[in-house]
């Protein structure tokens, strides 16, 4: 049996269309949602992500701008810009693209963003709120995955969920969201002892490990929902996920492709968080 494909591209498009009316309602009241994306350095992958974020905003009538710095910029300059943006009433969301160059204290930069404009959900206050089960901003990638579960009518209550990956951007917030939804959650990483024993029990398997085709068919429980968060570039330039899609789709019940799965959902949820920030500011 071949798995049902969860089409992230189609869901992302459906959601983005539905956001337009919210954007226009805000604009009519003088609160057009605005997102600033800060990029430090010239990492080619980050440049693509940032361009897609800005264009995603503009396409649905939001305001968005990119601020770029040379990799050698000092942290104080970036912190000063963040302070300015925190005080700017036309800006509802501030995102600093990660990773930052080595001389930066990433945590200090993320903490400098006003919690009510932290549309990435990386500020300690927002991480804490999520951990307590009262999220204010949910990190965009795991938020997108939750929307995919919703769309696929995946009931998470009581399900065995295994997350491979423990990053602050995906693995940890994904685990918290699954816990909050009533799943039984195990967080593994690429070096987990007997990883196979964990993944084979998983009704829900989320791969966010950053290794091409790390999850193979033998690791998947028949009928499981397999979510591939990875975006890896192969030596031939092609993109591939953390899941061996061709093998796993023969075992899984539902599966996300790469590209066209989780990727388009991440930016969509960034738009959602920025609109939400503007609605809160407008008192809606
Ligand atoms: N780098 C990779 N993913 C992300 C993300 O979701 N937000 C930010 N700010 N940087 C990233």
Residue 181's pLDDT is 98
Query: Would you call 118 a catalytic residue per the annotation?
Result: no
Same domain, 74 and 160: no
* 138: nearest Cα among 100, 103, 178: 178
Give one word for 210, left, alpha or beta, with left for phi > 0 and alpha for psi -120 to 50: left
Instruction: Supply the residue whose CA is at minimum distance from atom 9 of ligand 1.
Output: 97
Tell me, using a 6 A CB cutoff, whether residue 140 lines ligand 1. Answer: yes
**Identified catalytic residue from 7, 81, 118, 120:** 120
Provide the domain count of the chain: 2
Between the CA of 164 and the centroid of ligand 1 the distance, in Å, is 18
**240: three-class secondary structure by DSSP:** strand
Tell me, using a 6 A CB cutoff, whether residue 120 lines ligand 1. Answer: yes
| CATH code of the domain in which 60 resides | 3.40.50.10860
- Which domain range does residue 230 map to? 139-263
**pLDDT digit string, tens, across residues 137-185:** 999 999 999 999 999 999 999 999 999 999 999 999 999 999 999 999 9
Residue among 46, 123, 144, 169 whose CB has most ligand 1 atoms within 8 A, to mutate = 169
Query: Would you call 120 a catalytic residue per the annotation?
Result: yes
Q: Report, as an integer, the average pLDDT of 134-138.
A: 98
pTM: 0.97
Query: Would you call 97 a catalytic residue per the annotation?
Result: yes
Is residue 274's pLDDT more than 90?
Answer: yes
CA distance 81 to 93: 13
Confidence bin at 245 (pLDDT 50/70/90): very high
Same domain, 144 and 97: no
**pLDDT digit string, tens, across residues 65-116:** 999 999 999 999 999 999 999 999 999 999 999 999 999 999 999 999 999 9
């Amino acid at each position: 049996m071949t798995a049902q494909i969860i089409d992230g591209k189609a869901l992302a498009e459906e959601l983005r269309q539905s956001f337009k009316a919210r954007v226009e309602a805000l604009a009519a009241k003088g609160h057009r949602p605005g997102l600033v994306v800060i990029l430090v350095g010239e990492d080619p992958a980050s440049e693509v992500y940032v361009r897609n974020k800005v264009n995603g905003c503009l396409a649905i009538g939001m305001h968005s701008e990119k601020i770029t710095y040379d990799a050698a910029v000092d942290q104080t300059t970036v912190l000063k810009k963040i302070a300015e943006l925190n005080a700017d009433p036309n800006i509802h969301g501030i995102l600093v693209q990660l990773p930052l160059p080595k001389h930066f204290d990433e945590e200090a930069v993320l903490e400098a963003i006003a919690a009510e404009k932290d549309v990435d959900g990386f500020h300690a206050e927002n991480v804490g709120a999520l951990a307590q089960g009262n999220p204010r901003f949910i990190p965009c990638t795991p938020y997108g995955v939750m929307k995919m579960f919703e769309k696929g009518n995946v009931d998470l209550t009581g399900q065995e969920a295994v997350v491979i990956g423990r990053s602050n951007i995906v693995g940890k917030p994904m685990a918290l969201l699954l816990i909050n939804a009533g799943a039984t959650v195990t967080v593994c990483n690429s070096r987990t002892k007997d990883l196979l024993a964990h993944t084979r029990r998983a009704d829900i398997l989320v791969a966010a490990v950053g290794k091409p085709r790390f999850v193979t068919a033998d690791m998947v429980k028949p009928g499981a929902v397999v979510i591939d968060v990875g975006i890896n570039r192969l030596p031939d330039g092609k993109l591939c996920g953390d899941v061996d899609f061709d093998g796993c789709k023969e075992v899984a019940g539902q599966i996300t492709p790469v590209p066209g799965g989780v990727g388009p959902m991440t930016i969509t949820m960034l738009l959602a968080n920025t609109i939400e920030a503007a609605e809160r500011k407008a008192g809606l």
